[in-house]
Amino acid sequence: MLCSSDEIRTTLREHLAWWGLRHFSSDRDYFAWQRQRLPYEDLKRLAFHAEQKRHGDRHDEIMFYDVTAHPKIYPVLYSQRYEYYEEIGVRMTAHFGQAEDILDFGCGIGVLTVFYARLFPEKNFVGIDRSSASIVVARERADKLGLRNLRFECVDVDVEPLSGSYDLVVATHALVQAEQDRGLPSRNWRTFERAHDPSQQLTFERRTGLAIRLDELCRVLNSSGRMIVSEKTRQLARRVPFQRALANRGLRLVERPAPIRYRTVEEVVDDGPFYVLDRRSEATLDWDEEPEQDQGQHFDPHTVSMSAGAVNAPLYENHWPSAQTTWEQLKDREVIRETTRQAPDGRQVHAERGRSHGQHYLYCANTFDQRQLVIDEEARVTMLDEYYQEITRGLP
């Protein structure tokens, strides 16, 4: 029995190597390997299906996962997600506890499901996915290892009910697939707060497919069971309706949600959070609907001139949600010009040029939590004006 997370990580790396996945720390090396392994025609086909998936329906999405399940493609494509598997795999296995029957919803080709089943031979696992090609690969890999505690089923939960009953249900990157969905806007540009509007919530849950999937998962979860989910819902506009969907179904936080961070080939991804939930917890952990702590600096008008950085850099710049507090606290704020525009769908954008304490500022805010505050000296006011013009030109 493996105990420490280091031991689990080592075993997981061996497991990923067994799947043909490789870890790259240089993008150049990865792409050189990709070119070697995948002919241009395959890459073009992949890009075509990725685009279809982005704009299409469930058939396009199923087709994308069918194509990526090809044994020539998945090791190359999923090597990009190597650190994602490490991050989720290690974290997940630390939470299996006493659970005996475990469902992995949207298991894909089963990279993690097979790992869980190898690590916990005394527990029973079921992996569900609607991509039949993915399920074929998952079954083949499980058979190769002779795993008897693991079963894979091809089910599309959007159109067919799940069977069975589980004391742990896990879902990672499978509940909110619509990556381009921006989520729920705030009440207005001045706040990060979201209105409690059931019809807006329902619209979000339906258009992302979350409603039906979560209802099904809750239905097969034992009343004393646990659910562990981690989706691409780190942005507040997606995090709030996602959390409300969980809370509305009686799910409560067993522990504080953990942010997930990993490197893919081309970027560092801020993902998750990782939620551990149940329906019986007496715990009174609150759902956090505030923006995360960010890296915005505090602004002090007396010391800022001395601390200003590069030659052409403004005195102060903050592109984080904390820019709002700094803007609110500007002394003797005097607005020179401002504009607030509303898109037909209700989203708002605000831009403001002003003066405070002998300095000039530009502030922008919108209902998707973007904030920007730039402060500069009188002598460089033209730059702020030009920036203001540029921003307002692009408004709805």
Q: What residue number has its CB nearest to ligand SAM?
A: 106
Secondary structure (H, E, C), the chain: CCCCHHHHHHHHHHHHHHCCCCCCCCHHHHHHHHHHHCCHHHHHHHHHHHHHHHHCCHHHHHHHHHHHCCCCCHHHHHHCCHHHHHHHHHHHHCCCCCCCEEEEECCCCCHHHHHHHHHCCCCEEEEEECCHHHHHHHHHHHHHCCCCCEEEEECCCCCCCCCCCEEEEEEECCCCCCCCCCCCCCCCCCCCCCCCCHHHHHHHHHHHCHHHHHHHHHHHEEEEEEEEEECECCCHHHHHHHHHHHHHCCCEECCCCEEEEEECCCCEEEEEEEEEEECCCCCCCCCCCCCCCCCCCCCCCCCHHHHCCCCCCCCEEECCCCHHHHHHCCCCCEEEEEEEEECCCCCEEEEEEEEECCEEEEEEEECCCCEEEEEECHHHHHHHHHHHHHHHHCCC
In the complex with ligand SAM, which residue's Cβ is closer, 20 or 301? 20
Q: Which of 79, 93, 124, 131 binds ligand SAM (CB under 6 A)?
A: 131
Report if residue 322 touches ligand SAM, rule: CB under 6 A.
no
**Which is closer to ligand SAM, CB of 77 or CB of 315?**
77
Name which of residues 38 to 67 contact ligand SAM (CB under 6 A). 65
CB 172 to ligand SAM: min, Å: 4
Site string for ligand SAM, 205-234 (x = CB under 6 A): --------x---------------------
Pick the closer one to ligand SAM by CB: 276 or 384. 276
* Nearest residue to 63 via CA among 135, 155, 133: 133
Q: Which of 11, 52, 80, 177 binds ligand SAM (CB under 6 A)?
A: 177
Structure tokens at 368: 């998707």
Determine the size of the site formed for ligand SAM (CB under 6 A). 19
Binding of ligand SAM by 130 (CB under 6 A): yes
Sign of the Cα pseudo-torsion (55, 162, 241, 258, in order): negative
Query: Which of 79, 172, 324, 359 is the binder for ligand SAM (CB under 6 A)?
Result: 172
Segment near ligand SAM (CB under 6 A); pick from 35-43, 105-113, 191-199, 360-368 = 105-113
**Closer residue to ligand SAM, CB minimum distance, 106 or 314:** 106
The correct pick among 129, 231, 352, 376 for binding ligand SAM (CB under 6 A) is 129
127 binds ligand SAM (CB under 6 A): no
Provide the pairing of β-strand 258-263 with 268-278.
antiparallel
- Candidates 124, 134, 186, 233; binder of ligand SAM (CB under 6 A) is 134
Which CB atom, from 135 or from 362, has the smaller least distance to ligand SAM?
A: 135
d(CA 101, CA 360): 62
Degrees, nearest 5: CA angle 94-162-150: 45
**Beta carbon of residue 278, minimum distance to ligand SAM (angstroms, whole number):** 21
- Binder of ligand SAM out of 108, 183, 225, 321 (CB under 6 A): 108
Q: How far is the CB of 233 from ligand SAM (least distance, A)?
A: 13
Nearest approach in angstroms of CB 47 to ligand SAM is 17
Query: 108 or 257: whose CB is closer to ligand SAM?
Result: 108
Q: Which stretch binds ligand SAM (CB under 6 A): 93-101, 103-111, 217-225, 324-332?
A: 103-111
The minimum distance between CB 65 and ligand SAM, in angstroms, equals 4
Residue 321 preceded by cis peptide, ω within 30: no
As a whole number of angstroms, the distance between CA 92 and CA 129 comes to 19
> Which window, 34-42, 171-179, 295-303, 388-396, contacts ligand SAM (CB under 6 A)?
171-179
Q: Which stretch binds ligand SAM (CB under 6 A): 170-178, 237-245, 289-297, 348-356?
A: 170-178
Of residues 144 through 163, those in contact with ligand SAM by CB under 6 A are 155-158
- Residues interacting with ligand SAM, by CB under 6 A? 65, 106-108, 112, 128-131, 134, 155-158, 172-174, 177, 213
